[in-house]
Amino acid sequence: MDTKSELLKKIEEKKAVVSILGLGYVGLPLAVVFAKAGFKVVGIDPVKSKVDLLNSGKSYILDVPTVEVAGLVKSGALSATTDFSTLQNADAVSICVPTPLKQTGDPDLSFIVSSVDELAKYAHPGMVIVLESTTYPGTTRELALPRLEGKGMTIGKDFFLAFSPERVDPGRKDFTTFNTPKVMGGITPACNEVATAWYSKAIQKVVTVSSADVAEMAKLLENTFRMINIGLVNELALICDRMNMDVWEVIDAAATKPFGFMKFQPGPGLGGHCIPIDPLYLSWKLKALNYNARFIELASEINTGMPRFAVSKVQDALNNFGKALKGSKLLVLGVTYKPDIDDLRESPALDVIHLLEQKGAEVSFHDPYVKTISIEGRKKDGVADMMKAVAAVDAVVIITNHSSYDYSAILKNSKLIVDTRNALGKAGKDNPKVVRL
């Protein structure tokens, strides 16, 4: 029996040992899905605190219930380690490591490079490897493949390599890792066959495409679509502000059209790992081809300017009440990048707080999911008594519209509210002490 057939047999019988490199928002849910499907899963992460928590049966991610992790750990289906040498026993490996941007705006692929280099030390015939970390088209073929082929193995014969973009939306209940369709693109047809066979054993639907490059581009299209449309409604908010119109009413009116329109909402900026960052990977790649991705660059410019626009709304609102921004006491409600999660990655709230403090405001914050934040390297603790702070400050600034907040009580007890998310809805529309984005 050849190498491919032996590996497919292991996968079919669920005797293949699965390793997940990176146990964050993508890796841990994926590890749990494979373990629940009947595979033995070993998660690998350099952060010992994560590994210790997982091995004690505890989850550190809201979307993954501790009771689920505890059961899988107890049964022996799931374990974690900081030791990469365990990869020598793995048959199937998913790489789920971060891909941030450098301060220069260039892609930072150091986590992928270090992970693949570690993997290459222990790679062996009969191994299937899937990269899930979002990156620019060509990364799997140009960066990962040469490092693995250097082991003297032949792609599509001795080992199998593919790209499958993660589609995690933290806090979402209707679409999870299990039932969100997974795009899969292999380096060769055999790579596609093996990787698809593996993922199909744990995930409801796998959509195969012709190459890893196509799969990488599909992911960037998904997030670029959202980034550009959010940029459009953010610019609409700027336009409506100048024309003295209610942007929320305009959007709601347009959304009544049952076809040809998709509702997006403005806000104080973009957050999360994907939407603010991933399109810039494509923009960077295209610069090497002497092409300027104009839509991406323009949308990024608009979106990155929204925190300053939010600050200007706070300044104007205070001015209308006879208060200067400098010296005013402000309470920011919600610092995560979206409602009802604990994820601070690229959150615009951090930019808004920093800008307000730069202008001399005394800024406190409250978030039911986050107790401490870091502003320019300085630790800042949230207020313990939110309603007491609401009544004490000169203005409340709603940045993240968590569903657990009692907005009617906040409205009643506050002096002034700047609502950047339309969290108050109709109650805030004609209220003289509410300023909306």
Spatial CB neighbours of 185, under 8 Å, sequence gap ≥ 6 = 140, 162, 163, 164, 192, 208, 209, 210, 211, 212, 213, 214, 215, 216
**What does the alpha-carbon distance between residue 271 and residue 254 come to, in Å, rounded to a whole number?**
25
Show the beta-strand stretches assigned E in 192-236. 206-209
Tokens at 2, concatenated: 């050849």
- From the CB of residue 139, how many other CB atoms can be counted at a distance below 10 Å? 23
- Tell me how far apart the terminal alpha carbons of the chain are, to the nearest angstrom: 65
* Sign (positive or negative) of CA dihedral 50, 196, 226, 221: positive
Task: Indicate the SS3 state at residue 194.
Answer: helix
Residues with a known catalytic role = 274
Nearest to 296 by CA among 349, 226, 213, 217: 226
* Sign (positive or negative) of CA dihedral 87, 92, 98, 101: positive
Residue listed under structure tokens 């015939």: 125
Spatial CB neighbours of 379, under 8 Å, sequence gap ≥ 6 = 372, 373
Residue listed under structure tokens 């209610």: 246
Spatial CB neighbours of 301, under 8 Å, sequence gap ≥ 6 = none
The 3-class secondary structure across 336-370, one letter per residue, is CCCCCCCCCCCCHHHHHHHHHHHCCCEEEEECCCC
Question: Do 395 and 330 form a contact (C-beta atoms < 8 A)?
Answer: yes
**What does the alpha-carbon distance between residue 219 and residue 351 come to, in Å, rounded to a whole number?**
27
Nearest-10 crossing angle of helices 48-55, 66-75: 80
DSSP letters along 56-78, please? TT---STTS-HHHHHHHHHHTSE
Counting Cβ atoms within 10 Å, is residue 118 exposed (0-12), middle (13-18) or buried (19+)? Answer: middle
